[in-house]
Amino acid sequence: MQERTAVPFNRESIKGMTFFDPHVHMTSRTTDDYQAMADAGVVGLIEPAFWLGQPRTGVASFRDYYSSLVGWERFRSSQFGIKHYCTIGLNSREANNEALAEQVMEILPLFIYKEGVVGVGEIGFDDQTAAEEKYYRLQLDLAKEASLPVQIHTPHRDKKRGTTRSMDIALEQGLDPYMVIVDHNNEETVKEVLDRGFWAAFTIYPFTKMGNERMVEIVKHYGTERIMINSAADWGISDPLAVPKTAALMKERGIPEEAIRLVTYQNAITAFAQSGQINEADFAAVTQIDQSQKFEGNTVLRGGQQPRVDKDSMIIR
């Protein structure tokens, strides 16, 4: 079932609304995307660690990548008035390289306690191999020890079985379902996820997973409790404006504004604030932008561009 997200969308219909995208891979996006998201009302986001499209060959590349999530991307996002958080983990695809996976597991504790890290993720299954299960369980233990939420990647293939298996293992490892966000849901998985007390996240992609027309029907049928939506925008065909676009469509289809606010903003904050790292007051502070600032000598501006500097800048780094 394929469906393109609604483009263009009525920005006026969501004017004044704010959004939080709890799964978006900004490392893959341009600064233009940050600007567009800010213009559409996105005030905060979570960037999960994920597969970069090409396998990494050494632990140092993981270390540099994790460092960029808590460093450069956090700064780059602030330059457009968006509060950036991340989740850190070994993705399921690369868990199958066990020699490298062992080394990555050794460095994860160096990052999961850093400022701005709101969970362990995205972790779980891809091909549902024994190696994937081994490192999934180990990372669940790590999250439990650190009292952090878990962000689960459910598999693209054999999704229903993989989703059930992911939840079974999380419970076996002693996690509270309320601390676990099960992502990439669809009509086949949502009921079981909600019935078992987990958070149900939905990725709004232009052609795959869950389109925004279908998401409207999900909210109409299941309500808003423990449901959140995200763009998961990455290096593939994806849309960093999927959250505000879906909000606009929900409003057009008669879904109450408070329900829209819950699934496009508040629920994600509630789930990931269990990390102790999210304070909504920070969103107001980061809107004071100072683009004259630099991160290790680098700026988001290019030759001759004038920096935006808001009076009494309060950028949080």
Residue 235: the pLDDT is 86
In Å, how far are 84, 102, 207, 311 from 45, measured between CA atoms? Answer: 5, 29, 22, 24
pLDDT for position 205: 75
Residue 309, in any domain of the structure: no
Q: Which residue has the tokens 């960029």?
A: 68
Q: What is the domain extent for residue 85?
A: 12-286
The reply to whether 181 falls in a domain is yes
3 is a domain residue: no
The length of the chain is 317
**Structure token pair of residue 108:** 């994860």
Q: Is residue 311 part of a domain?
A: no
Domain for residue 39, yes or no?
A: yes
CATH number for the domain spanning 162: value is 3.20.20.140
Evaluate whether residue 191 is within a structural domain: yes
CB 23 within 8 A of CB 183: yes
Q: How far is CA 143 from the centre of its chain?
A: 17
Q: How many domains does the chain have?
A: 1
Does 310 map to a domain? no
Q: pLDDT tens digits for the chain (317 residues)?
A: 444 444 567 778 888 899 999 999 999 999 899 999 999 999 999 999 999 888 899 999 999 999 999 999 999 999 999 999 999 999 999 999 999 999 999 999 999 999 999 999 999 999 999 999 999 999 999 999 999 999 999 998 899 999 999 999 999 999 999 999 999 999 999 999 999 999 999 999 776 556 678 899 999 999 999 999 999 888 888 899 999 999 999 999 999 999 999 999 999 999 999 999 998 888 765 567 777 676 666 777 666 666 666 755 444 33
Determine contact, residues 118/148, Cβ cutoff 8 Å. yes
pLDDT value for 307: 64
pLDDT given for residue 284 in this prediction: 66
Residue 116 lies in a domain: yes
**Residue 317 confidence (pLDDT):** 36
Q: Which two tokens stand for residue 312?
A: 């009494």
Residues contacting 61, CB < 8 A, separation 6+: none
Residue by residue, DSSP assigns the chain as -------S--GGGGTT--EEESS--GGGS-HHHHHHHHHTTEEEEEEE----SS---SHHHHHHHHHHHHTHHHHHHHTTT-EEEEEE---TTGGG-HHHHHHHHHHGGGTTTSTTEEEEEEEE-SS--HHHHHHHHHHHHHHHHHT--EEEE--SSSHHHHHHHHHHHHHHTT--GGGEEEES--TTTHHHHHHTT-EEEEEB-SSSSB-HHHHHHHHHHH-STTEEEE----SSS--TTHHHHHHHHHHHTT--HHHHHIIIIIHHHHHHGGGS---THHHHHHTS-BTT--BTTB-S--TTPPPPB-TT-----
What's the whole-model pTM score? 0.91
